Amino acid sequence: MSALPSVDGFRFYPGLLDAAHQRAMLAAVQAVWQAAPPYRPRMPKSGQPMSVMMSNAGRFGWYTDKDGGYRYIERHPQTGRPWPAIPAEILAVWDMVAQCPQVPQCCLINLYRDGARMGLHQDRDEEDFAAPVVSISLGDEAMFRLGGTTRKGGTRAMKLRSGDVVVLGGAARLAFHGIDRVLAGSSRLVPGGGRINLTLRRVTKAE
Ligand code: SIN
Ligand code: FE2
């Protein structure tokens, strides 16, 4: 047997969003950035800056800093204002693929520029893992790494392109994942270059 991870509940929708849809998503992200500018989060304890810039839409925004660690907060850390609502175009993607009756409560917006990457991690700062995480890729291509639910065992790499959508549900909800690297210049979608990733999540337990 190979060391490939168990990926039950992992679903991949390559090219789900066509070029026009990708431009509409980009415009929606830019509108969120107007109200909630991207900032650079810092790792817990070390305070080391992450290479990815982040912002959020929805009731909750994912955040990390030196003293508070990984958590969800209801206001932008710099402006103090509530996060903007999740744009309808983005909610529509959840409705297409999530197979979940509840609406997402957070849209984390990751911006990868200048060699930014994201180490292997689980998304586990939510109260409940019943709902999936839905991930939308826009702009430059990226090498995504997917593992199992423990750090032991194998991982596999796959390329995510602009318009691709990934769902981490079921057993894969707690799968380790990360971004090894972004292929700079592989897309012209994002002004100034780079990659945008949107992840939609539920944060609280469903009533
Ligand atoms: C994340 O895990 O938050 C981001 C994954 C990605 O950028 O595709
Ligand atoms: Fe993640």
Residue 2, pLDDT score: 44
| pLDDT (tens place) for every residue of the chain, 207 residues total | 444 555 789 999 999 999 999 999 999 999 999 999 999 999 999 999 999 999 999 999 999 999 999 999 999 999 999 999 999 999 999 999 999 999 999 999 999 999 999 999 999 999 999 999 999 999 999 999 999 999 998 999 999 999 999 999 999 999 999 999 999 999 999 999 999 999 999 999 987
**Atom of ligand 1 lying closest to residue 177 CA:** 2
Residue 206, pLDDT score: 82
Question: Which residue's C-alpha comes closest to atom 7 of ligand 1?
Answer: 197
Ligand 1 neighbours by CB, cut-off 6 Å:
110, 118, 135, 144, 177, 179, 197, 199
CATH code of 10-201, in short, is 2.60.120.590
Q: What is the pTM of this model?
A: 0.96
Residue 6, pLDDT score: 56
Distance 125 CA to ligand 2 centre (A): 10
Residue 5, pLDDT score: 56
DSSP string, the chain: ---PPP-TTEEEETT-S-HHHHHHHHHHHHHHHHHS--B--B-TTT-PBPSSEEEEESS-EEE--TTT-SEEESB-TTT-PBPPPPPHHHHHHHHHH---SSPPSEEEEEEE-TT--EEEE----SS--SSPEEEEEEESEEEEEE--SSSSS--EEEEE-TT-EEEE-GGGGG--EEEEEEETTS-S-STTS-EEEEEEE--SPP-
